A and B are shown apart, each in its own frame.
Chain A
Amino acid sequence: MRSLRLVAVYLRLGVLNEMQYRANFFVAMFQSLLSVGVGLAVLALVYSHTATLNGWTRSQLLVILGVQILLGGVVHTSIQPNMERLVDEIRDGKLDFLLTKPEDSQLMISVRVLQLWQFVEIVSGSIVVGVGISQLTGTIGLGHSLLFLALLVLGALLLYCFWLVLATGSFWIVNMWFLSELFEGMYQTGRWPIGVYPGWLRYSMTYLVPIGLAVTVPAQAITHRLHWGTVVVALLFALALTAFTRFFWRFGVRRYSGASA
């Protein structure tokens, strides 16, 4: 309960903070429009040369694109800014201040920053998903929709764990300016169904870098391509990764000796 209240306080603080910079809403909207535009242009280009990509039609791939943009919005709104701040604070030794607080350190480092205006990406991603779904043949029942939402949450959890594992690496490698670039680069792979990648890459993108799992599986749920086995595997994997992330974070914190003056 206390942790929930804490999260709520930070959330309110984040919103108040961002409301000071309302013009950034338009900046975020412009950026989001451009990135959706690029995605659509690439899709148009691909489908001007082919009718299906590895069995996925254009509207099905639109769903994947939408999910990727939507989850990217979640990452940019809350996950990435928190992780970047963490990396900076480890380097500068400022993490000391946080570790002395009585609350759980992993919770604290995960909720401090909010880039509110990036939620535009979540909206535009949802619109792209909606357009993709409306072009699909066949109906989507309530069950599928709920499963889709649940898998989206699961995907966000996977991406959070992945980012935190990367950021925890800062306890060992201090100079981590490349992290965002690395994540953005790899995150682009999620824009395509995981099946197009050759075997070794597919496995590493599912389990080593769980981006494929995070993006493709929800999209499979809504396009009637999902086997129950996949859901079970995804769930088990998410549990295992969450446990590992927790362990790795604590392991890293123990190693932290403070770099401040």
Chain B
Amino acid sequence: MSAQAVSRREPWLRSMLDFYATKMRVQVLTQFQYRVAMYMYTLGMAAEPTIYLVVWSTIARSHGGSVDGITPHQFAAYYIVWTLVRVMNIVFTPYGWEWRIREGQLSGQLLRPMHPIHYDLAEFAGQKLPWIVMYLPIATGLWFAFHPALHPRPLAVLVFLIAIWGAYVIRSLNQFVLGMITIWTTRAAAVFQVWFLAELLLSGRLVPLTLMPQWSQALAAWLPFKWTFYFPIESLVGNMSDASLVTGLGLQALWAAIGAVAVAGSWRLSVRHYSAVGN
């Protein structure tokens, strides 16, 4: 083999950025092909926050205008921003891992040169732009229907823009680890459901965490869930202090780091156990 055949190695960071950029561009183009499907999906998704918003606004109004100091307009702000954060939190689902294994997809994917998390991260990051474009008309509609009280400071906007990506990364990493369970058992769905239940109650997805009982707020403080819903939403709508905004980003980084270690460890452990299915 001659010396020319040895390819020049690209710097790692550059090739990585190139990989992400290409993968994301392809996703943007692909997603815009299915506009009706996306729209219907977004519409189904918008039902959830609208229900919460309506229920809590009703309670607030029947109690002289607020629940625990939260007014209907503040609820409106919370749940409209909620929808955007929810869009950011769409990641590769652990149920998808069942499919990957059953259909033998994973066997082929093992031949790829990079860690599998990169493919999922890049793919779903690329879908964010089309999704957000779809979300804007819905947000506008909700805005005029419910009149949110939203007056963020510039720093809050900046932190929010970082925090939604932090949420995306944390949730992607956590769900990857969950997905690894499917390599060990075919009845992993039960675990996923318990996880999603905990997330619903302890992340701020259901209600602003301050409305939850004290003990569950204390529990939530030690779990990653609130950093994917409550913190990003509150950073924009909650008038948090500068210090707590920055601390929040720091804690997000910490949870992302924990998630990354868990992903690396669980993958290394699981892939050894994996026996191929499919053709």
Interface residues of A (CB under 8 A from B): 27, 30-31, 34, 37-38, 41-42, 45-46, 48-50, 52-54, 173, 175-179, 181-186, 188-189, 191-192, 196-198, 200-201
Minimal beta-carbon separation of B217 from chain A (angstroms): 12
Contacts of A46 on B, CB cut-off 8 Å?
Answer: 55, 59
Determine the chain B residues whose CB is within 8 A of the CB of A196 once the complex forms.
54-55, 58
Q: Are A175 and B34 in contact (CB under 8 A)?
A: yes
Query: How far does the alpha carbon of A182 sit from the alpha carbon of B37 in the complex, in Å?
Result: 10
**Number of chain B residues whose Cβ lies closer than 8 Å to a Cβ of chain A:** 36
- Cβ contact within 8 Å between A173 and B36: yes
- Residue from A31, A176, A186 with most neighbouring chain B CB atoms (10 Å): A186
Contact with B47, one of A27, A173, A188, A200 (Cβ below 8 angstroms):
A188
Does B13 count as interface, using CB distance less than 8 angstroms? no
| B149 contacts chain A at the CB level, 8 A cutoff | no
B residues in contact with A30, CB < 8 Å: 190, 193
Q: Does B41 contact A (CB under 8 A)?
A: yes
Could you write out 15 A-B pairs with CB less than 8 Å apart?
A30-B193, A41-B201, A50-B67, A53-B59, A54-B58, A177-B37, A178-B38, A178-B44, A179-B40, A181-B41, A184-B44, A188-B47, A189-B50, A192-B54, A200-B145
With a cutoff of 8 Å between Cβ atoms, the chain B residues found around residue A53 in the complex are 55, 58-59, 62
Minimal beta-carbon separation of A153 from chain B (angstroms): 25
B34 touches A185 (CB 8 A): no
- Are A27 and B187 neighbours in the complex by a CB distance under 8 Å? yes
- Which residues of B come within 8 Å of A, CB atoms? 34, 36-38, 40-41, 43-48, 50-51, 54-55, 58-59, 62-63, 67-68, 145, 187, 189-190, 193-194, 197, 200-201, 206-207, 211-213
Q: How far is the CB of B41 from chain A (nearest CB, A)?
A: 4
CA gap between A45 and B52 in the complex, in Å: 12
Of the candidates A34, A42, A186, A191, which one forms a contact with B194 in the assembled complex, judged by CB atoms under 8 Å apart? A34
